[in-house]
Amino acid sequence: MTDKELLSLAVKAMENSYSPYSGCKVGAALLTESGKVYLGTNIENAAFGPTICAERVAIFKAVSEGEKSFSKIAVVGGKNGVINGIFAPCGVCRQVMREFCSDDFTVIMGISETEYKSLPLSDLLPLSFSPEDVK
Ligand code: THU
């Protein structure tokens, strides 16, 4: 699975965004080490607090299906579904990635439907608090 293929799956995932409050549609496509893809989109809530990001939906779907080894994730988003530059993963999602992914896990951030910037998780979450810290 190429980075561009994963990005286009993330764009597809945006279609199911439930975002009546912010109007921001976000899509994520997570690739497991075994080659499976899990899609996620943001799901908002009238009480605001229960809102969950696209990245965490994809990760939690995968973990709940028994997957715990991941190689990369593509993330794309924008107001009203218009991709207008990077929609970077929030801090909570970065921390959830750190729980299951090593420092070289790749985060592919869409700039448009076909262009992206990719960075290792260690660049997005330096000096991270990790599962090793509580062993
Ligand atoms: N959002 C995501 O889905 N992922 C992120 O990493 C940042 C924010 C969503 C949550 C909310 O539905 C909307 O974007 C605006 O914050």
- Cβ of residue 57 lying under 6 Å from some atom of ligand 1: no
Considering only CA atoms, which of 54, 50, 58, 72 is closest in space to residue 3?
72
- For atom 14 of ligand 1, the residue with the nearest CA is 24
- For atom 6 of ligand 1, the residue with the nearest CA is 89
Tell me, what's the pLDDT at 2? 97
Range 45-73 average pLDDT: 98
- Cβ of residue 54 lying under 6 Å from some atom of ligand 1: yes
CA of 92 to the centre of ligand 1 (A): 10
Tens digits of per-residue pLDDT, 79-122? 999 999 999 999 999 999 999 999 889 999 999 999 999 999 99
CB 111, CB 42: distance < 8 Å: no
